[in-house]
């Protein structure tokens, strides 16, 4: 059995059969959600629906996301046999002197063969940070590179694009600033002559966006949002994934709620993003993951949720969660956590939305079954998914008797109790609503279960207190310590 995460004991539980996911509900109703007391509460925040934002645990998850796969800047490189690699291991070239860089620039002004050879050598040399800085300091160097990038020769254009891409990946802000003149051409060439070329343009744009406010201010007036919207119907997964990357970079900017999200909403992007997220299991998860994070950033801006809800985001994402749980129960789950995480966050925050007149609730007990299948699958290897699932469970059950009752009728309480010591944010049940839904009787059934006794006793003590009494300190003292 895999090792348990720190602070969590290894537990097993019986879940309802996965076949429950196949059960359909007739006349599925959408009910308005009320933001009142929740069934679950956080140790440090008042009892209300939990909106997942970019602080605390979320910052940690974003850090893990960047380090493991979805980094702030990305670099497209050729196959392992290409120059600069040995046995699949990258070799960073030694820095070039100013004279060596000048020699390459002179070679780029000669005949086509010398020009192509010099460009190839420059691309390899620009993998060195010092050479990048040396190159952009030379007068006319970037201008010459852009001239080749805009040439009519496809092979020269591609080599120049690779050089610009290397520069865009630099951690030196001055290097990114030097690339400002190329942004309008990058947007123009999003309808490029090949998938590889379009992909290079997209990732170069995405890299430049995060480095400089000047780049951001230049790209918006140049029409980056319409340009992205024009290629979101591409049939190529690589192009769509690169497009999602650029958009996610834009939507994380501090100007996003006021300057970027409104432009996105005025385009055709939202409905296509939702379509691509929900079709990710069929067409490929790469683009779906990117656009799921895009939806998350839009939702967190609190400027577009009414529009997303009107597009059917809630039932669409709920249906996707059911599909994800079904996939998990049938085959390997490797990599699916990358899509599960933002989908859970989107649903959680849409449920917490207080948009007047928007019907955001879905009554379908299969969502609970899906959550516990996901919990069971990712509990050991990806314990952060437990937090995400519990946030969604919190918002599903807040002031919603249907889901509160379903937790009991589906006999999910034992599994839920076993998760209490695994979370620093979700610890105890709100007692009055829990008792009114028959929770106390359900707890009594597990009083003699050895591994649940302590948690059951703490919750029963809390449930027996008068309405309105504060039980936070008492309950925290009775529950096992959280790491």
- Please give the torsion angle defined by the CA atoms of residues 52, 57, 58 and 61, in that order, rounded to the nearest 10 degrees: -140
Q: Among positive and negative, which fits the CA dihedral 459, 461, 463, 465?
A: negative
Give yes or no for residue 329 having a pLDDT over 60: yes
Pairing of strands 30-31, 361-362: antiparallel
CA distances from 24 to 19, 216, 281 (A): 11, 47, 21
**Token pair for 291:** 């656009």
Q: Comparing C-alpha atoms, which of 120, 127, 91 is closest to residue 104? A: 120
Task: Read off the pLDDT band of 231 (50, 70, 90).
Answer: very high
Lowest mean pLDDT of 39-43, 105-109, 137-141, name the range: 39-43
The pLDDT tens digits of the residues spanning 12-34 come to 333 333 333 333 222 222 222 22
Residue 74: pLDDT above 80? yes
The model carries a pTM of: 0.76
Comparing CA positions, the residue from 474, 410, 404, 402 lying closest to residue 439 is 404
**H/E element holding 122?**
helix 112-125
Q: pLDDT class for 140, splitting at 50, 70, 90?
A: very high
Q: 362: which strand partners?
A: 30
- State the virtual CA torsion across 257, 261, 265, 268 in degrees, nearest 10: -170
Question: What is the per-residue pLDDT for 117?
Answer: 92
Res. 162: pLDDT tops 80: yes
Please report the pLDDT score of residue 193 as a whole number. 77
Work out the number of other CB atoms within 10 angstroms of the CB of residue 19: 9
Whole-angstrom Cα distance, residue 33 to residue 422? 28
pLDDT, tens digit, 9 for 90 and up, residues 376-427: 888 778 878 888 888 888 888 776 777 877 877 777 777 776 666 555 444 4
| Number of residues that make up the chain | 483
Distances (CA, A) of 248 to 70, 105, 114: 10, 35, 39
């Amino acid at each position: 059995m895999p090792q348990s995460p720190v602070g969590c004991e290894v537990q097993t539980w019986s879940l309802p059969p996965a076949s429950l996911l196949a059960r359909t509900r007739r006349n599925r109703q959408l009910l308005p959600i009320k933001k009142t007391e929740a069934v679950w509460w956080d140790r440090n925040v008042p009892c209300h629906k939990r909106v997942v934002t970019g602080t605390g645990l979320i910052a940690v998850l974003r850090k893990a996301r960047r380090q493991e796969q979805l980094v702030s800047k990305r670099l497209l490189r050729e196959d392992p046999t290409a120059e600069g690699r040995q046995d699949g291991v990258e070799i960073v070239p030694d820095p070039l002197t100013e004279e060596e860089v000048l020699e390459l620039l002179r070679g780029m002004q000669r005949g086509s063969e010398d020009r192509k050879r010099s460009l190839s050598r420059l691309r390899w040399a620009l993998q060195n940070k010092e050479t990048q800085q040396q190159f952009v300091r030379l007068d006319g160097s970037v201008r010459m590179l852009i001239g080749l990038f805009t040439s009519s020769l496809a092979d020269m254009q591609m080599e120049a694009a690779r050089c610009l891409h290397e520069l865009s990946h630099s951690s030196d802000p001055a290097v990114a600033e030097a690339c400002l003149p190329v942004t309008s051409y990058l947007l123009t060439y999003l309808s490029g002559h090949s998938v590889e070329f379009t992909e290079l343009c997209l990732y170069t744009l995405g890299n430049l966006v995060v480095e400089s406010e000047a780049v951001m201010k230049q790209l918006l007036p140049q029409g980056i949002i319409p340009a992205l919207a024009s290629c979101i119907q591409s049939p190529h997964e690589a192009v769509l994934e690169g497009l999602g990357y650029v958009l996610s970079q834009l939507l994380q900017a501090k100007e996003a709620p006021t300057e970027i999200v409104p432009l996105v909403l005025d385009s055709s992007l939202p409905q296509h993003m939702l379509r691509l997220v929900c079709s990710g299991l069929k067409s490929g998860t790469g683009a779906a993951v990117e656009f799921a994070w895009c939806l998350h950033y839009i939702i967190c801006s609190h400027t577009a949720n009414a529009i997303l809800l009107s597009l059917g985001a809630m039932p669409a994402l709920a249906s996707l969660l059911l599909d994800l749980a079904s996939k998990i129960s049938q085959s390997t789950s490797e990599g699916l956590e990358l899509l599960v995480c933002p989908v859970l966050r989107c649903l959680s925050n849409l449920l917490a939305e207080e948009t007047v007149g928007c019907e955001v609730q879905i009554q379908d007990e299969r969502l609970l079954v899906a959550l516990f299948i996901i919990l069971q699958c990712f509990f050991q290897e990806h314990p952060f998914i437990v937090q995400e699932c519990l946030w969604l469970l919190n918002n599903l059950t807040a002031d919603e008797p249907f889901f509160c009752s379903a937790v009991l009728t589906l006999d999910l309480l034992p599994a839920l109790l076993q998760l209490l010591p695994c979370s620093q944010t979700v610890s105890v049940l709100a007692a009055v609503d829990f008792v009114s839904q028959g929770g106390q009787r359900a707890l009594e059934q597990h009083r003699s279960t050895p591994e649940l006794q302590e948690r059951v006793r703490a919750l029963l003590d809390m449930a027996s207190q008068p309405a309105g009494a504060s039980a936070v300190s008492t309950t925290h003292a009775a529950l096992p310590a959280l790491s």
